Structure 1
Amino acid sequence: MKHAYLANLSIDKSDPGPLHRQLFLKLRDNILQNVIKAGTRLPSTRLLAEDLGVSRNTVLSAFDQLMAEGYLEARVGAGTYVSTQIPDELLGTNSSSEKPNPKARKIKLSRQAEALRPTGPAKPYHQGPFSPGRPELDQFPFEIWARLLAKHWRKPEPDYLSGNPVGGATALREALAEHLAQTRAVNCEPDQVIVLSGSQQAIHLVIKAFAETGDPILMEDPGFPGIRNSIIAAGANPIAVPVDDQGFNLEAAKSLAPKARLACLSPSHQYPLGPTMSLQRRLEILHWAGENDRFVLEDDYDSEYRYSGRPLSSLQGLDTEDRVLYVGSMSKVMFSGLRVGYLVVPKDLVDVFLALRRDIDGHSPAVAEAALAEFISEGHLATHIRKMRILYEKRQKVLISELRAKCGDFLSVDEQECGMHLIAFLRPEIEDKKVEALARDQGLMLRALSAFYEGPEKKNALIIGFAGTHEKQMPRLVGRLAQILETCAAHMQT
């Protein structure tokens, strides 16, 4: 049952007209404009009179008039409700004559907002089979997670209820610093770790810190769209740098934007193509960054899942001149609904980034961070990652086998040493965007690689996630994809 709180309702006692008439008109307008919806229970006349500072008789008179005209109905022993019998044509939501058509308006937006204007409705790419970056959720240890959350909610620390340090809960920053040192060779103290609401917020802060309007900011091509969007939102100029078999092409970057001061990279597992940057290339980039006050944003989004040898050290761990800002997230190793990302910054930039973070929303949720700190420090995160690494490796092999067996006439695919998705290169005549559109209609949430390019040269391939898709479903799902590819191929031949 819906209840009306009527917090927006007020009476102007200086109005010379009768108060009950004024109240009647305001309630009637709220009902006709669907602010108070049909079937909603209104407050009692006594309570409403107290809230408005008028006599109860004033409210009773207004209610009587509204009931007489059919806007309200009294239910014996249950109270007064907005009538469910009001004709639709009277309600404001169905009256197009009084409301301007949003599509007809011409609004002058900022250059940044105009560049980010969507071309259509947002698509739920992170749901369904073959979604890139979607982790396996059914095998997450929710019992342990629920126990830790319940523990901290049953008796939360007083500080957690009234705030949180700007950089995040101290316990979580300590746990993350130790975890990153052990798993990614990140070299930092806990106070260099800033906890944020996902990696996108971290990327946004880094670009905001270094970008002036019109500045060139280097990004990989193809690359993560969130980086491009953050560059545009900052009023800067995204410079698309080609990716080769070693990752970000530094020589091309120097030629395209010799004065650029910030490069945004994913060296451990380039997104979306997947190469791992060689040690030689990493050292060259660090040397480049050490010249003329340059910096590197290292997006380390899913490097925990490495299937060949041990995980490679982070670029930040090789940095001896404090030029790398390291970005990570719990979305791939736990679940995206947790909304926890983190940023590791050089010591002399901690105060700057805390100020930038404070400017956004002050601090992050404290109790969930306390639970996450224990989840990490008690070893549950490391155990879960090891378990998922074995599972994802198995799923990758099953998917490759199915793709080669059922789709081999239309695409080629190789194993990835790292990550949660595959790149399947299509025959030239089969357009990846067309396959993506048809696949979405069939419930397959794979992506077209060409959509991730900024420059004119685009590779024609599919990005197919395997981590969150059960291997028992893969034969049926790949069979569905094979039919789509066959349809596209036949269409191109006619």
Structure 2
Amino acid sequence: MRRAEQIELALAPRPNGMSLQRWLYDELRAAILAGRLSRGARLPSSRDLAARFGLSRGTVLGVFSQLAAEGYLTGAVGRGSFVAPELPDRRLDVSDRPSTKKRDGRSLAQGGKEDTEDSAQSHGIALSTRGRLLARTAFDVSGRPGPARAFRTSQPDLDAFPFELWTRLAAKRTRRARRDLLGDGEAQGYRPLREAIAGYVGMSRGITCTADSVVVLNTVQQAIDLGARLLLDPGDAAWIEDPGYPGARFALEAAGARVIGVPVDAGGMSVEWARQHAPEARLAYVTAGRQTPLGPPLALERRLALLEWARDRGAIVIEDDYDSEYRFEGNPLAAMKSLDHDGHVIYCGTFSKVLFPALRTAYAILPDRLIDPFVAALSLTARHVPLDQQSVLHEFIADGHFGRHIRRMRMLYGERAEALKIAADRYLSGRLHVPRIIAGLDAPAFLPPGIDDADMARRAARHGVETRPLSLYAIDRPAPPGLVLGFASIDSDAIESGAIALARALEGLRHRP
């Protein structure tokens, strides 16, 4: 805890004609009531305050005495003065500040209607049209604390991550830290890490590139957002899988795009449908390796058709390859970017789902003509990802730990995928169908027709089970009723227990009228 002498206490300038004692009293009391001086906080000494603000010590002691008499301060000889743990009633002139809350508790920023006069009187702040779109989110802003439970989605097993090894690497990098890691880094990212990423995607995803094509980001969501803002004008059409990733949809809409939901079947996004119904689109977002949320990879003929459309239209495809490292059957699939010979694909990958979510490090492989504007936009909006974590991640990859971790987790997650399939067949048969799981961290589970999957997800939560309804991913047409079940972050026993709890939640399930 900081000593009182270390606290820089900011006070407003003294108005003309106001006495020094009255000014200091008002400022200290306002700071206490506003919470800038919290209850129990120790004030600077009278001698220190006098020296800082050019006052006599007698003036300061007089103010302290008055505040103590009124119940705002407590003190003891030799210990100093402290803000009282219980304060007197606040006066309206201090506490009755303008609020952005309506009487019904809704924030004006959330779109609550207020007439102009009332809004002006309450000093409410109105969001712009784009601001209202940005204020929507597909993510839980409070995070997901605590240990994982069945069936948390989009999360790797944190207990299986080699944190001791990571900590040793971080400590070693700290001891050897050079001054160039303490200043500003390249907006494009730490070059040794970019070189390691280029080598990795070349071997594992079939993408031929150099470090010059790689940009390091905080998240894939950041790549989607910047790509949309750089490439789309308001009203431009953009394709997205339907059902599809809500985070991409909201980012595209916030950029002013006219989002076109493209149907998905066993071959992935229907490119032919999209070309017939919205050929004028300037951007397409696709999860080609494992479609979110239904799972099938984009068929080869559709990959080629998508690239042909992008080349003919001068459009860009954002390929979100979010968990392709974990394929449990057959050979690894090459990325669609590996077929892109004309520079129309932005390929995105993330370490947050492969290693641990708090890492918040992702990357994009860019076409040559987009590198400079993309890096400039990144510098304008976020500067760069912290250099220390980039350097540790580079060491983790360069020393071979990353590859070993992927191989170990692929085997572990494959066993858990099989455990989920067995548990679903045993406890959920006839009520929730889990298809064969061949890749990823989670899987779709389909409910009988007519079931309200959002209600089902709420029922599951009451039984201690985390799920996401497939309806959450719907865009222009209803999604098949079902749930997304994560299996990677929990062991086989927890998977079985979760299936049993989910079966209890499904009891007495009724179709929608």
TM range (shorter): over 0.9
- Residue in 2 aligned with 1:443? 464
Which of 2, 10, 22 is the equivalent residue of 1:8? Answer: 10
Q: TM-score, normalised by structure 1?
A: 0.94
Residues 27, 154 of structure 1: CA spacing in aligned structure 2 closer, same or farther, 3 A cutoff? same
Q: Bigger CA drift: 381-390 or 449-458?
A: 449-458
Other-structure match for 2:121: none
The answer to whether the aligner puts 1:279 opposite 2:281 as a matched pair is no
Deviation at 1:432, TM superposition (A): 0.9
Distance 2:489 2:324 in 1: 16
How far apart in 2 are the matches of 1:130 and 1:406?
Answer: 15
Residues 29-69 of structure 1, C-alpha deviation per residue, up to 9 Å, x if partnerless? 12122232211111122222233233333322211211122
What is the aligned length? 489
Residue number among 391, 405, 416 corresponding to 1:384 in the alignment: 405
Is 1:252 equivalent to 2:273 in the alignment?
yes
For residues 476 and 361 of structure 2, the distance between their equivalents in structure 1, rounded to whole angstroms, comes to 32
Of stretches 226-235 and 298-307 in structure 1, the one that deviates more from structure 2 is: 226-235
CA distance in 2, matches of 1:251, 1:385: 36
| Distance (whole Å) between structure 2 residues aligned to residue 129 and residue 453 of structure 1 | 23
- 1:284 CA displacement: 1.3
From 214, 222, 225, the equivalent of 1:193 is 214
Contact 2:287 2:321 survives alignment (8 Å):
yes
1:124 is displaced (CA, Å) by 5.9
Pair 1:176–1:101, CA change in 2 (3 A): closer
Q: Shift in Å at residue 118 of structure 1?
A: 4.5
1:269 to 290, 310, 313: 290
For residues 434-483 of structure 1, give each alpha carbon's deviation from its aligned partner in whole angstroms, at most 9, with x where no partner exists: 11112223332111001100112321011001001111112221111001
The aligned counterpart of 2:188 is 167
CA distance change for structure 1 residues 124 and 431 in 2, over 3 Å: closer, same or farther?
farther
Tell me if structure 2 keeps the 8 A contact 1:268–1:312: yes
Given candidates 114, 119, 130, the residue that maps to 2:132 is 114
Shift, 1:119, TM fit: 9.4
CA positional deviation for 1:92: 7.7
Q: Is the 8 A contact 1:125 1:131 kept in 2?
A: no
Matches within 5 A, 1:59-98: 59-87=60-88, 89-90=89-90, 98=97
Q: What SS does the corresponding residue of 1:61 show, helix, strand or coil?
A: helix
- The match for 1:100 is 99
**Alignment identity in percent?**
38
Cα displacement (A) at 1:214: 1.1
Amino acid at match of 1:100: S
Contact 2:268–2:291 (Cα < 8 Å) also in 1: yes
Q: Tell me how far apart the structure 2 counterparts of residues 174 and 221 of structure 1 sit (CA, whole Å).
A: 35
1:412 is matched with which residue? 433
SS of the equivalent of 1:423 reads: strand
Q: Which amino acid aligns with 1:172?
A: L
**For the residues of structure 2 that align with 1:264 and 1:410, how far apart are their CA atoms?**
33
Matches of 1:93 and 1:261, distance apart in 2: 55
Matches within 5 A, 1:92-241: 98-100=97-99, 102-104=101-103, 105=108, 106=114, 108-118=126-136, 122=140, 126=144, 128-241=149-262
Give the counterpart of 2:326 among 290, 305, 316: 305
Structure-2-length-normalised TM-score: 0.90
Paired amino acid for 1:475: E
Aligned residues of 2:136 and 2:250 also touching (Cα < 8 A): no
* Alpha-carbon RMSD: 2.3
**C-alpha distance in 2, partners of 1:236/1:121?**
20
| Partner of residue 382, structure 2 | 361
Structure 2 CA distance for aligned equivalents of residues 120 and 417 of structure 1: 26
Paired residue secondary structure (1:473): helix
Q: Is the 8 A contact 2:137 2:247 kept in 1?
A: no
1: CA distance, partners of 2:133 / 2:69: 54
Indicate conservation of the 8 Å contact 1:42/1:81, yes or no: yes
Which amino acid is 1:328 matched to?
A: G
Cα deviation, residue 289, structure 1: 1.2
One-letter identity of the residue aligned with 2:128? S
Aligned residues of 2:187 and 2:378 also touching (Cα < 8 A): yes
CA distance in 2, matches of 1:337, 1:331: 7
Q: 3-state SS of the aligned residue for 2:507?
A: helix
Distance 1:293 1:284 in 2: 14
Q: 1:35–1:253: structure 2 CA closer, same or farther, 3 Å change rule?
A: same
Corresponding residue of 1:28: 29
Deviations 1:77-120 (A, max 9, x none): 33210011324x4388996x555361354454322333454499
Alignment check: 8 A CA contact 2:20 2:59 kept: yes
Where 1:291 maps in the other structure, the secondary structure is: helix
CA contact (8 A) 1:125 1:445 kept: no
Structure 1 counterpart of 2:389, one-letter code: A
Give 1:191 deviation, angstroms.
Answer: 1.2
C-alpha distance in 1 between matches for 2:180 and 2:132: 42
- Report the CA distance shift for 1:230/1:465 in structure 2 as closer, same or farther (over 3 A): same
SS of equivalent to 2:445: strand
Secondary structure at the aligned position of 2:27 is classed as helix
- Asked if the contact 2:219/2:363 (under 8 Å) is kept, the reply is yes
Alignment gaps of 5+ in structure 1 = none
- Residue 122 of structure 1 deviates from its aligned partner by 4.2
Unmatched 5+ stretches in structure 2:
109-113, 115-124
Q: Which residue of 2 is the match for residue 476 of structure 1?
A: 497
The residue aligned with 1:341 is 362
| Candidates 305, 318, 338, aligned match of 1:317 | 338
